[in-house]
Structure formats: C-alpha cells, structure tokens
Amino acid sequence: MKQKVFNLFKDFEIFLVGGAVRDMLLNKESNDLDFATNALPKQTKTILENAGFKTHDVGWAFGTVGFISDGYEVHITTYRKNEHYVRDNRNPVVEWGKTITEDLTRRDFTINALAIDRTNKLLDLFSGREHLIQNVLETPINANEAFSDDPLRMLRAIRFKARLNFQYSENIKKALYDQAHRLLILPKERILEELNKILMTDNAADALEDMFEYKLLNYIMPELIALSKIEQESIYHHKNAWLHTCDVIRNASKDLILRYAALFHDIGKFATFSGKGAVHFYHHESVGALMTYSILQRLRLPKQWIKDIVYLVRNHMRVNTYEYNWSDSAVRRFIHDTNEHCDNLLELSRADITSHNPITVQKHLDCLNDLKKRIDALKSFKEIKSPLDGIEIMQEFKLNPSKEVGEIKDLLVNALVEGKIKQNEEKQVYIEYVKNNWRVV
C-alpha cells in the first residue's frame, strides 16, 4: 500500500510519516498509514478518486483526506507549518507548510516526527530513533511551546508513555505542570477521544496516576482529586481511595464501560465520609452515581454509555450482599434485576475485591466465585419474561395502555423468579395469581 500511494503522487512530494514509521522501527505491524504531502487537500482528493478510491472526510479543515483499501486505513495530509490554539479559542488555527521539515517540526513527539521517502530513506531530524531506543518521550520543540500550541498533546503524552512504557523527558515533565490549565480551552470531544484511548491502554492506571501527579485531572475530572484525601485503613482497605481506585482499574478487564465504572465507583466517598467511631461511607454508591452522571454528561459521553456506567456505579456494592445461604430464588432475583449488567457487575466486584487488604481478598473472592458458579447454573433466567403479554393483560383486567399493565408484568416475572408460579402453566393460573396478589384487582 505504501508504494501504491507513492506512485499515485508521482508529481508531488510525499512521505510516510508518524506512527507507521515509529511502529516499523519497533518491529510492530500497523494498518494505519499516514502520509504527508505538498499536494493541497483538493488535489489529494482528486488524485485518489481518479485512481478509484472512495475517499472520506477525516479532517478537511486540517488538510486530511482518508480512504480504506486492502485492510489499511490511509490518511493523507497536506504539509502543515503550524496548528495551534490562539489564547482561549477552542478551534485551532491551521497554516499550510511548504516543506516536510516544517511539517515534522510541528509534530507532537520526536518518535512521531519520523518520515520515510520514496526510496525508503529515513528522515529523522529530531533524534526520534534514538529516543525510541532510549524509551524516552520528547518533543521536537520546547515542550512548553508545543503544549501551549495544542494542549491535547499533554493527554497524548500520558497515553504514549502508558502505551509504550516510556519515560517523560525533563522538558515534558516541567511543561505538563506549566501548561495543564490549557486543557480548559479544548473541545470536550477531543478530550473524550483521548481519555477513551488512555483508559484502554494496558497501563491505564499508571496513566491516571500521571494525570493526577501533573495536575491534568484538575482540569478534566477535578472530583477525583478529593479521593486522595480519603484514608480508609481497615480490614477491607489498605490504601487511600484514589490509590485504591487506580488498583481497581489495574485489575479490571479491558472494557471501556467497565473501566469508566472502575474509575468512578468510589467517587461518592468524599461527600459521604463519616468519621464518627469507625469510618463509614453511607450511601456512597448512590451519591457516586449522581456525581458520575454529572461528570459524564460534562464530558459528553454517549447517552447509553452514561446509562450503563451509572448503573454499575450505583450497584457496585450489590454483589457484596451475597451470602452462601442465598436460596436459588434469591440468586434468580439477582440475575433478573441486574439483567444485561450482571457480568460487568461481577467483573467490577472482582476488580474491587482484588484491590482490598490482602488478608481479606481470598475470602471475598471465594464468595464471589460461588455466586458466579450459581449464576452460570441458573443463567437461563436472564431472559425471563411475563407469561401474559400486554394485550392479554388489558383484555383480562379491562385496562387501557398504562403503567398498571407494566406492574402486572413485573408481578408475574417476580413470581416466576421467586418460584411462586412456574412457566408453561395454563393461562388461568397466571390470571388467578394476579387477582390474588395485585394491589388494585
């Protein structure tokens, strides 16, 4: 694919740049190819479409045209001399460049300021290859200037360090502190995109600890900062609430909804702290759910994501109520009530438990494993439905479409879950049960 693109742009300068070159030097495969060219966006689009490629708008204002072919996602961008945010303006100003040198100079990190030309010659103007060998993250220009121009680079620094197991240069460390406030001018959508990528790295917890240390969290999710003030030494916990949160993320599966839930599961503890006698956090899960909803709304997560994450935060303590002497009906009730969230609740609880005081971990894991085994044995109840549908209920009890119809359905489902009635009975059995147990009839 690389050579095919080079051939298409035979009348222009063009270089393979950025992550694909970096990954090549790290002996990693990459299906995302980025090219830089002196062709203008309209010229690029014409060249690609004349060659039969279906193009799509990746970032027209930034000079990027994209297409997909042979399993590759390809982006071709016009040389940029500059791309920066002016003061408090949330829309960056883009200035086209004339040379590859100008384009590489304005890139975020030296390891991404690498280019390969048509002859496969590596262009490395800022010691990017050396920094790859040294496992150091550095900027091509002064980091204070680079982060001020585009504050998103600070979050990208956090992500690349976590993803590649690199270290920050001293230049970057200082700039993170100095420029953290510039995150306030970024559009929420750009922050969210980068935050999602951070949470999906293998070292997401370390990345969040960096965001805490360098004050970036203060300008994105300041509510989390208070968790570091909650010391919760007890038979259950041995770290402050913030370090415990990071451990839960570290233990959580690589699922974005789950990791957001892990991040916010104890967010309500500061507001609900009670130090009278033993330390308590009464109703911290309910308060945390409200706080989580507010934070995620602010970050502009998709509505369904917010709904799922808030549910997990509100109910993350529910698994802890399980006892070995629960009846099968009680387990079925848990399955039915938690529904599609059941597996994630169990996983969140596992991540939470594993972060507890080591002397209690195995006891609680054994209890969780027992619940999981019983749920697996009764999993057919996850899809249980009312044996009478809405039309039948309205006909039998002379009701119009209303909340009462839903109440009767819930009554029947609950009776099935608890074993008070059985599936595949005669219809009259269900009607009689409703007559004897529903509050209105």
> Pick from 273, 192, 215, 201: which is nearest to 240 by CA?
273
Question: Which of 68-82, 302-316, 353-367 holds the top average pLDDT?
Answer: 302-316
Q: Is 106 helix (H, G, I), strand (E, B) or coil?
A: coil
Which pLDDT score is estimated for 171?
95
Q: What is the mean pLDDT of residues 412-439?
A: 84
Integer Cα distance of 434 and 415 in angstroms: 10
Integer Cα distance of 23 and 32 in angstroms: 10
* Cβ-based neighbours of 257, under 8 Å, separated by 6 or more: 305, 308, 309, 312, 344
Q: What is the radius of gyration, based on Cα positions, of the chain?
A: 28
The rounded percent of the chain whose pLDDT value lies above 90 is 59
* Cβ-based neighbours of 242, under 8 Å, separated by 6 or more: 212, 224, 225, 227, 228, 230
Q: How confident is the model at residue 386 (pLDDT cuts 50, 70, 90)?
A: confident
β-pairing, 93-96 vs 114-116, is unpaired
> Pick from 200, 252, 196: which is nearest to 220 by CA?
196
Asked if 7 contacts 23 with a C-beta cutoff of 8 angstroms, the reply is no
Degrees, nearest 5: CA angle 134-137-141: 120
Give me the phi and psi of 64, to 5 degrees please.
-110, 130
Which pLDDT score is estimated for 73?
92
How many other C-beta atoms lie within 10 A of the C-beta of residue 337? 13
Integer Cα distance of 242 and 323 in angstroms: 28
Spell out where 272-384 has E strands: 273-274, 280-281
Length of the chain: 441
Using one digit for the tens of pLDDT, what is the confidence trace for 75-112?
999 998 876 666 666 566 777 888 999 999 999 999 99
Spell out where 205-329 has E strands: 273-274, 280-281
Which pLDDT score is estimated for 441?
45
* Structural domains present in the chain: 2-134 (3.30.460.10), 250-383 (no CATH), 390-437 (no CATH)
Integer Cα distance of 317 and 322 in angstroms: 10
Using one digit for the tens of pLDDT, what is the confidence trace for 179-227?
999 999 999 999 999 999 999 999 999 999 999 999 999 999 999 999 9
Higher-confidence position of 238 and 351: 351
The rounded percent of the chain whose pLDDT value lies above 70 is 92
Q: What share of the chain is helix, strand, coil (3-state, %, to 5)?
A: 60, 10, 30
Range list of H helices, 340-426: 342-354, 358-377, 390-397, 403-417
Integer Cα distance of 173 and 207 in angstroms: 14
In the predicted model, is pLDDT for residue 440 greater than 90? no
Which pLDDT score is estimated for 164?
93
Give me the phi and psi of 77, to 5 degrees please.
-125, 140
Range list of H helices, 71-142: 100-105, 128-134
In the predicted model, is pLDDT for residue 38 greater than 90? yes
Residue that the structure tokens 């439905």 belong to: 385
Question: Rounded mean pLDDT of the chain?
Answer: 89
In the predicted model, is pLDDT for residue 233 greater than 90? no
> Pick from 268, 372, 259: which is nearest to 319 by CA?
372
Question: Does the pTM of the predicted model rise above 0.95?
Answer: no
